[in-house]
Chains A and B, each alone.
Chain A
Amino acid sequence: MTAPTKTTVEQHGEIAILRFEGDIMSASEEAVLGAYERVGVGTRKLLLDFSRVPYLNSSGIALVIRLLIAASKASQRTVCFGLSAHFEKVFRILGLARYTSLHVDEVAARAAAG
């Protein structure tokens, strides 16, 4: 019925990339927040890849918010990419674009992360 979320964590020096795959909803806490706990200690920039996420509901977005809060407390910059046009609109409606940047693809996200 729902596609369970899988998350791959890639570490490239001070950049960590969390690649989500599947729906993000209330049952995705381990896949979102658990994956964040696996990023390296020296991580300064966090890229969140939503390109394989077909569906997020508000409970799933709440998990993303909790991840952004944790990253902010750790002084890590977060950059999102790969959201569908609809979910990018939803993120903007909710005001999330003030706390993370939203990009079409990984190339743009990496450029923005610097």
Chain B
Amino acid sequence: MCDHPVIAELSLPSRLGFEKVAMSTAASVAGLMGFSNDRVDDLKTAVAEACINAMEHGNQFQERLAVAVTLTMGRQSLEVTIEDHGTGVNWRPATPDMGLKMGGAESARGMGLFLIQTLVDEVEFVCGDSRSHARLVIYLNGKESGPA
């Protein structure tokens, strides 16, 4: 896109529905960068799930606590960080076992982190004492293009 990263930032209240603002913004930016429609859809879902996690688990749905979304456009990649006021997740997202869910042995919920991990090229969950963030990256030519 250009030689230096271009950054866009959003601050969202911790209210369900506002994740769609982040979704729309991420979709617009990814579209400007030339990502295909299916990659844009993947990113939208991953960003929405990360924002909902931040609102629910990080900020406990306290509306006055913001979810900060930063989009960084590199030459070959788009990085989205979603920051909340929680202490973060310190586990690897488990693959949902649909058989267990259908049998009632596992909650029907708990699929968000798995979806995030599956739909983007890189994901990282960074824990902190008072703030934590998820970092999502998609590459224009897939994972093989490497960091921009």
Contact = CB atoms under 8 A, between A and B. Distances in A.
Interface of A: 1-2, 25-27, 55, 57-59, 61-63, 65-66, 68-69, 72, 84-86, 90, 93-96, 98-99
Given A69-B104, A98-B98, A99-B102, A1 B38 contact: no
Nearest to B96: A94
Contacts of B45: 57, 86, 90
A62 B102 CA distance: 10
27 contacts: A1-B17, A2-B16, A2-B17, A2-B20, A26-B16, A55-B20, A57-B48, A57-B52, A58-B49, A58-B52, A62-B107, A63-B108, A65-B98, A65-B102, A65-B108, A66-B108, A69-B102, A86-B38, A86-B42, A86-B45, A90-B115, A93-B118, A94-B111, A95-B96, A95-B97, A95-B98, A99-B98
Interface residues of B, number: 27
A90 B20 CA distance: 18
A72 B102 contact: yes
A47 B20 CA distance: 28
Interface in B89-110: 96-99, 101-102, 104, 107-109
A24 to B, nearest CB: 13
B41 interface: yes
Given A2-B20, A94-B98, 9 more contacts: A2-B17, A57-B48, A57-B112, A66-B108, A86-B41, A86-B42, A90-B115, A93-B118, A98-B99
Contacts of B112: 57-58
A55 B19 CA distance: 12
A94 B36 CA distance: 22
B18 interface: yes
B104 A1 contact: no
Contacts of B111: 58, 61-62, 94
Nearest to B116: A58
